[in-house]
Structure 1
Amino acid sequence: MSLLTLALLFLAGFAGGFIDAIAGGGGLIAVPALLASGVPPQVALGTNKFQACFGTGIAVWRYARAGLMKTPCLWLAVVLSGLASMGGAIAVSVLSKEVLKQLIPWMLAAVAVYTALNRHFGIHTGPRRMPWLTFAILFGIALGFYDGFFGPGVGSFWTVALVALLGLDLRSATGYTKAANLASNVGALAIFLVNGSVHFVAGGVMIAGQLLGARLGSGMVIKRGAAFIRPVFLTVVFVMTLKLLWDAWRG
């Protein structure tokens, strides 16, 4: 790879880490950047998981220090998400993604509409509509498997579920989401590593950008809270929806 390509991958890692720490969706930047650099699709997915683990890890560490990971049964959601993502990554080779490619954009569009219409979404804590244990088991398995199998929008689905069903504010929901995301990233990465689907040079350069971007992004969340997260979250979901609809239409 040329120095220019590596420099662009560093910037993509920085931007992806910054956005991912706040609202998820960093893969929207990282995966296209890897594909544009000439990395094969399967290797691009594996390399994205590789570099994302480091940025998400920094965000998780900072959120934990800020006290945003004290929710009951979070450890169970993390463990199940990691294990389920390994199953999802294995299933990639035997199951078709075509239905998901058609369905997920519309699910994300529903998330965007729901969030936009609910002006107080995640600004303050709300009523809990599901037991902590049930939530951890159900969503840990379902969203962990989805992240390993396909992935786009998983952070958005975690955030909406946490706010709507557990009554968390967006600040606390972001901490929970990043912990679960880190587990599913690590689980899926293990399978990609076994299959040799990681470009370590590209991934290493992006990790440098990820660490810086994730540190800055998580700092913004900790300092500015839910009022800052909401518009970023909506923007990321909207852009992700448009991109996936375009991909589905073009395909």
Structure 2
Amino acid sequence: MLAGFLDTLAGGGGLLTVPALMMSGIPPVAALATNKLQASTGTATASYLMIKNKKVSWLEIKPLMLFAFLGAAAGTVLIQFIDTQILSFVIPLVILLIGLYFLLAPTPNENSRQAKISPKNYQRLVVPSIGCYDGLFGPGTGSFFVLAGVSLNGRGFIDATAIAKPLNFATNMASLLVFLVAGQVIWVLGIIMLLGQIIGARLGSRCLFSIKVAYLRGLVVLMCFAMLVKYVLTL
């Protein structure tokens, strides 16, 4: 429930759930797969509320979701052939890098600015690349979509956060479908987590447009370093 709430606000819910699953003794690929089951529900809830409340345009987001879906599907197929010991090293490294970026980078503002790349390149290159990362590893994908929206697509921070929800939903669904075919999902655990995600996502969606950018940034940094410390202590 906490991950669903924080994921809707700051895009880092997987930074809580994936390391927590791995620290409970679940193999890395099964942890990623089970996380996708509950994460897809959380992002679906948040995406529905964003579109329903007209915070995101369906016509604008639909092609971006398609490219995000394709990128994630490719990454999830690839992860089936990667040594799980590599994941045990890469996931905490990714957590560290995301935390450092949000800690050291200039604080983004809520105003839109000029995009650094064309909408076509953003849609066909940036979005599927982040989707592929989500299929491969996953934690922090929502944060990457927010960062790309602000730094490359010229979005304001809140606007980029809202758009990141349906994109993250598309990547989660693509990965989940592949993991289901591969039989990697732990159903009982995933369903219990799923219920918490629904509650957390609804609460987070109500708070998103009333919370300050600095607080969102602080949440991501706090999650990253807290989970990194916990992960290292369990090794």
- TM-score for the superposition, normalised by structure 2: 0.85
Give the root-mean-square deviation of aligned CA atoms: 2.8
Of 101, 106, 122, the residue aligned with 1:111 is 101
Give the counterpart of 1:56 among 43, 61, 71. 43
How far is the alpha carbon of 1:89 from its aligned partner?
A: 0.9
- Alpha carbons of 1:44 and 1:65: their partners in 2 closer, same or farther (altered >3 Å)? same
Distance (Å, rounded) in 2 between the aligned partners of 1:243 and 1:158: 25
- Report deviation, 1:40: 3.8
Matching residue's letter, 1:55? G
Letter paired with 1:104: V
Secondary structure of 2:167 counterpart:
helix
8 Å Cα contact 2:43-2:165 kept in structure 1: yes
> For residue 26 of structure 1, what is the amino acid of its counterpart?
G
Which residue in the other structure is 1:44 paired with? 31
| Amino acid across the alignment from 1:179 | P
Note if 1:216 corresponds to 2:203: yes
Match of 2:165 in 1: 178
Secondary structure at the counterpart of residue 166 of structure 1:
coil
User: What percentage of aligned pairs have identical amino acids?
Assistant: 32
Could you list the runs of 5+ residues in structure 2 that have no partner in the other structure? Answer: none
Could you tell me which residue of structure 1 aligns to residue 61 of structure 2? 74
Decide whether aligned partners of structure 1 residues 34 and 107 sit closer, same or farther in structure 2, where only a CA change above 3 A counts: closer
Task: Tell me by how many angstroms 1:103 deviates.
Answer: 6.2
Is 1:230 aligned with 2:220?
Answer: no
Q: Does 1:20 align with 2:28?
A: no
Assess, with a 3 A threshold, how the Cα gap between structure 1 residues 66 and 235 changes in structure 2: closer, same or farther.
farther
Residues 1:172 and 1:103: Cα distance change in structure 2 (over 3 Å):
same
Distance in 1 of aligned mates of 2:45 and 2:35: 16
Aligned mates of 1:35, 1:87 — CA distance in 2: 23
> What is the TM-score of this pair, normalised by structure 1?
0.80
The 5-angstrom pairing of residues 79-90 of structure 1 reads: 79-90=66-77
**Gap runs ≥5 in structure 1:** 1-13
Moved over 6 A (4+): none
Is the 2:23–2:231 Cα contact (8 Å) retained in structure 1?
no
Which amino acid in 1 is paired with 2:218? Answer: P
Q: Please state if 1:125 is matched with 2:112.
A: yes
Per the alignment, residue 145 of structure 2 pairs with 158
Q: Deviations over 1:76-103 (max 9, x none)?
A: 2211111111111111123468498286
Give the corresponding residue for 1:146: 133
**1:201 matches 2:191:** no
* 1:213 Cα deviation after fit: 0.5
Contact 2:32 2:137 in 1 (8 A): no
How far apart are residue 222 of structure 1 and its match? 2.7
Whether the 8 Å contact between 2:13 and 2:139 is mirrored in structure 1 is no
Which is worse superposed, 36-45 or 56-65?
A: 36-45
Against the structure 1 CA distance between its residues 244 and 188, is the aligned structure 2 distance closer, same or farther, given a 3 Å change threshold? farther
Query: Aligned runs of 1:230-249 on 2, under 5 Å?
Result: 230-239=217-226, 242=228, 246=232
Q: Offset of 1:197 from its aligned partner? A: 1.0
Amino acid at match of 2:57: K
Instruction: Say whether the 8 Å CA contact 1:122–1:170 is kept in structure 2.
Output: yes
| Greater shift in the superposed pair: 211-220 or 72-81 | 72-81
Correspondence for 1:137: 124
Q: How many residues matched?
A: 231
Deviation at 1:110, TM superposition (A): 5.1
Aligned residue identity for 2:98:
L
Deviations 1:134-193 (A, max 9, x none): 111112210111100112222222111111122211211111111111111000101110
- 1:184 alignment partner, SS class: helix
